[in-house]
Structure 1
Amino acid sequence: MALVERAPALTVRRRGPALPLGVVLASAWLALMVVTALGADVLTPYSITALDLKARLAPPALMGGTWAHPLGTDELGRDVLSRLIMSIRMSLLIALFGTLIAATLGTGLGFLAAHFRKAVEQVVLMAIDFQASMPFMIIALAVLAFLGNSLPLFIALMGFHSWERYARISRGLTLAANEQGYAAAIRQLGASPARIYGLHILPNIASTLIVSMTLTFPEIILLESGLSFLGLGVQPPLASLGNMVGYGREYITHAPWIMLAPAAAIVLTTLSISLLGDWLRDRLDPTLR
């Protein structure tokens, strides 16, 4: 009897779901912004304070200008591309440290409220309600008007934006974790509160906090831009996206490139972070799977 050879079974590899086009483009843009911020000193063709009055208000290369200034020059003959690169670094650094300060402060207060309860919890909740009831722009304007303006103070002030969001999230999730078996079991084994919250509860709520950070980051960029636009943010000779827009508003009719370049960077960066944050929320939130 003839033997029939069986064809070898084909193994089919399952591929994960393809990334949405918007997430890919957003990630590419954010990667470009990070590279620009890290290599700003190398990428800038001119000093941001170098003046060239003979070339003032020169148009970009694509609008009839020369490639010596690809994005044109401003009212003092400063290269717009160089100022844009340094402004991206400054705005991203402010947003990064502001987000980290807000996340650390809010998460710590949320843990304190969930651990001590009673009077400590009531004080934290009152602070959260006060912060949520007051528009942060008014608080920022008052602080900068009375205390003056310096870069460390400005970054610390940005860190107080949205801390109440992290405090609410961390308190609520910590209270839920304390009711679950793993937190109670670790506590019964004699683990210290720092070990319980730092090594066990925090990793379990980190995904929610990371998504909240992707929401806070673009908010701080917009807040910094608004305060710098009003003249209360980053001060000369430093440059940020907001003060570039502020200085360029007076020349929007006959030299719009001064304002459009930083404005486009603000819009694309905040949009990219928001798209990435929405995608992370869908991926990390177990209730949406």
Structure 2
Amino acid sequence: MTDMLASSVPAEPARRRLDLPWYVGVSIFWVGVMLVVAIFSNWLAPHSFTALDLKYRLVAPFQSFAHPLGTDELGRDVLSRLIISIRVSLLIAFGATLISAVLGTTLGFLAAHFRGVVEQIVLVLADFQAAMPFLILALSVLAFFGNSLPLLVGLMGLYGWERYARIARGLAIAASAQGYATAVTQLGAKPARVYLRHILPNIASTLIVSMTLVFPEVILLESGLSFLGLGVQPPMTSLGNMVGYGREYITRAPWIMLTPSLVIVMTTLAISLLGDWLRDKLDPTIR
């Protein structure tokens, strides 16, 4: 009896740690589904996303077994295009978020290490980035240099870097003022090792939360650019691209536009809810 009670004591904290709010569980499930769809899109798509069949133009959802989500104005399967669009949009969002995080964190560390002129330059660039409407800048660059997927990812990688720079700078200065960073430096460690092996792991949780907050914004930005015709170009497709082409048929075939719109809303909402939950979980002042 005593052994049974002793074995049951540590199970209660573990159960409490795994107790997630229902909306967080739903968000994790939705994000997981989107990742699976993006990774295995070539196998999950029932048809080629560029295959035309004018005999089946504007077929409504659930009217044909071969096209469960209907077809568009050219007879292309909406489900197949949706699956490929999820892959392209998530690829752009992941790439841009990673570039933004690496760039901003690097500049923040440089500002915290060198201080003085370097710090002022980084802060001025961050203020300039925050003050300029990024959508106008993106439209200007894409209109001038043309459209390509690497350019689009690189351009959107500039979005939000100032947030990471400010966070990394402030936390790195605070960490440098603590004993462990000074002690490692006095032992002969190089600055790169101090920042990457000792300071970065201690501020990684805050940066990860920031990434979950920037990620849905990047998805919406890509969708807006593709909607305006300056994002992903045909024959490639994305969620915003589908919404942009479907707006002309909103009265006759609303499913062309509403299906990718629903995916955009659900994905951004799920990632935002996860980011809010992680922020609360990783904030020691709330626990």
| 1:226 maps to 2:217 | no
Which portions of structure 1, spanning 4 or more consecutive aligned residues, are displaced by more than 6 angstroms? Answer: none
**Counterpart of 2:252 in structure 1: which amino acid?**
H
Structure 1 residue aligned with 2:129: 131
- 2:273 corresponds to which residue? 275
Correspondence for 2:24: 23
- Please name the residue that 1:4 is paired with: none
Once the two structures are superposed, the pairs formed by residues 191-270 of structure 1 within 5 Å of their partners are 191-270=189-268
How high is the TM-score relative to the length of structure 1? 0.96
SS of structure 2 residue aligned to 1:287: coil
Q: Kindly name which structure, 1 or 2, has the bigger radius of gyration based on alpha carbons.
A: 1
Question: Structure 2: which 5+ residue stretches go unaligned?
Answer: none
Which residue number corresponds to residue 3 of structure 1?
Answer: none
AA in 1 matched with 2:38: A
Deviations 1:53-74 (A, max 9, x none): 000000000xxx1111000000
Superposition pairs of residues 45-60 of structure 1, within 5 angstroms:
45-60=46-61
Indicate the residue corresponding to 1:142 in structure 2: 140
TM-score by length of 2: 0.96
1:145, distance to aligned residue in structure 2 (A) = 1.2
Task: State the alpha-carbon separation in 1 of the partners of residues 75 and 32 from structure 2.
Answer: 30
Aligned amino acid, residue 46 of structure 2: P
Question: In terms of mean alpha carbon deviation, does 14-23 or 249-258 score higher?
Answer: 14-23
> Which residue is 1:80 aligned to?
78
Change (3 A) 1:120 1:8: closer
Unaligned runs of 5+ in 1: 1-6
Q: Does 1:71 align with 2:69?
A: yes
Aligned letter for 2:16? G
Per the alignment, residue 41 of structure 2 pairs with: 40
Determine helix, strand or coil for the equivalent of 2:2: coil
Distance 1:8 1:141 in 2: 70
For the pair 1:113 / 2:111, whether they are aligned, the reply is: yes
Shift in CA distance, 57/175, structure 1 to aligned 2, threshold 3 Å = same
Q: Name the aligned partner's letter for residue 38 of structure 1.
A: I
1:8 to 2, 22, 25: 2
Q: Percent identity?
A: 69
Matches of 1:155 and 1:188, distance apart in 2: 41
Q: How many angstroms apart in 1 are the aligned matches of 2:248 and 2:144?
A: 28
Deviation readout 1:19-58 (Å, 9 max, x if unpaired):
0000000000000000000000000111111000000000
- Cα distance in structure 2, aligned partners of 1:189 and 1:165: 32
Distance 1:125 1:279 in 2: 29
RMSD: 0.8
SS of structure 2 residue aligned to 1:253: coil
Deviation at 1:146, TM superposition (A): 1.1
| Whole-Å separation in 1 of the counterparts to 2:101 and 2:286 | 24
Q: Distance in 2 between matches of 1:198 and 1:285?
A: 22
CA drift at 1:8: 3.5
What code does the residue aligned with 2:153 have?
I
Which amino acid in the other structure matches residue 20 of structure 1?
A: P
For 2:149, the aligned partner's letter is: L
- In 2, Cα distance between equivalents of 1:55 and 1:138: 39
Q: State the secondary structure of the residue aligned to 1:286.
A: coil
Aligned to 1:286: 284
Cα distance per residue 1:93-115 (max 9 Å; x no partner): 00000000000000000000000
Q: In 1, Cα distance between the equivalents of 2:182 and 2:280?
A: 30
Q: Counterparts of 1:185-196 in structure 2 under 5 Å?
A: 185-196=183-194
Question: Whole-Å Cα distance in 2 between the matches of residues 213 and 53 of structure 1?
Answer: 43
Distance 1:138 1:74 in 2: 30
Residue 163 of structure 2 is aligned to residue 165 of structure 1: yes
- Count residues in correspondence: 280
